[in-house]
Amino acid sequence: MEASMALEIDVFTKDLDLTDKIHDYAIKKVSKLERFLNGIDDCRVDLAYVKTARKASDRFISQITLRGKGFILRVEERADSIDAAIDKSVDKMTRQIERYKGKHWDHRAEGVATKTLETLAQEKEEEEQPIIVRRKSFVLVPMTEEEALEEMQLLGHEEFFVFYNATTNKINVLYKRRDGTYGLIDPILA
C-alpha cells in the first residue's frame, strides 16, 4: 500500500496530555481497522481522562468514530489505563465492522468462499438478533431545552427524553451521559 493511500487518523484528547507515545500507540492500533473496511473517509479518536469516575476502571476513555459514504460507526470503551481503553475500543470497533459488513455486503461478490448451511445456522444461533418488543406513540409539546430537561427529571426518565424543540422547530433527544451531565441530539437529514 502506498503511503498516500493510508488512512488519516485525527487524535484528540480531553484532560489528558497527548504524548508521542500515546499518539503513536493510538495510530498504530486504530490504523489496523482499515484492513477490515474499505471506504473510510474520516477517522477520529477521542481520548479522555475522567478523574471523577466512580470506578478507577472507568477513568480512561477511548472513542473511535469512522465515517464513510453511507455509514458512521462509533464505539466508546473505558478502562484503567489509556492503552487498555484504546485496545478495548479497537476490538469493539472490529466487531462492529463485522456486524455492519454482514448486514450490508454480499460476501460472494467480494470473492469470499460461501459458507455451508450448517455453519451459517450455527452462527445465526450464536448471534443475538435485536427485536422491537414495544412501540410507543405520544404527543410532542413544543418546549425549550431547559423545559425538556425539567420534564425529563420530573417524569423520572433516567436515560433519554424526546421532545419538540420550540427554538429550532425540530425533534431533539435529550440524554443523560455516563458522567452525569446531559447531551442533546439535534438530527440533520442527509
Asked if pLDDT for residue 111 goes beyond 80, the answer is: no
Task: Using alpha carbons only, give the angle 60, 64, 66 rounded to the nearest 5 degrees.
Answer: 175
Using an 8 Å Cβ cutoff, are 103 and 126 in contact? no
| Position 99 confidence tier, pLDDT thresholds 50, 70, 90 | confident
Q: Is 34 helix (H, G, I), strand (E, B) or coil?
A: helix
Q: Are 157 and 136 within 8 A, CB to CB?
A: no
Distances (CA, A) of 54 to 10, 51, 58, 77, 160: 29, 9, 7, 15, 21
Give residue 113's region: left, alpha or beta (phi > 0; psi -120 to 50).
beta
Cβ atoms 45, 61 nearer than 8 A:
no
How is residue 73 written as a grid cell?
460507526
All structural domains of the chain: 3-106 (3.30.160.100), 142-185 (3.30.505.50)
Q: Which long-range contacts (CB under 8 A, 24 or more apart) does 79-88 make?
A: 80/56, 82/16, 82/22, 82/47, 82/49, 83/25, 84/60, 85/47, 85/60, 85/61, 86/25, 86/26, 86/29, 86/30, 86/45, 86/47, 86/62, 87/29, 88/62
Q: What percent of the chain has pLDDT over 90?
A: 44
Q: How far apart are CA 188 and CA 128, in angstroms?
A: 30
- Span 23-79, pLDDT tens digits: 999 999 999 998 888 888 889 999 999 887 778 778 899 999 998 887 888 999 999
The HSE-up count of residue 51 (CA atoms within 13 Å, CB side) is 3
What average pLDDT is seen over the chain? 83
Confidence band for 159, pLDDT divided at 50, 70 and 90 = confident
Contact 143, 163 (CB under 8 A): yes
Q: Given the DSSP bridges, would you call strands 9-14 and 60-68 parallel, antiparallel or unpaired? A: unpaired
Cα–Cα distance for residue pair 66/167, rounded to 1 Å: 31
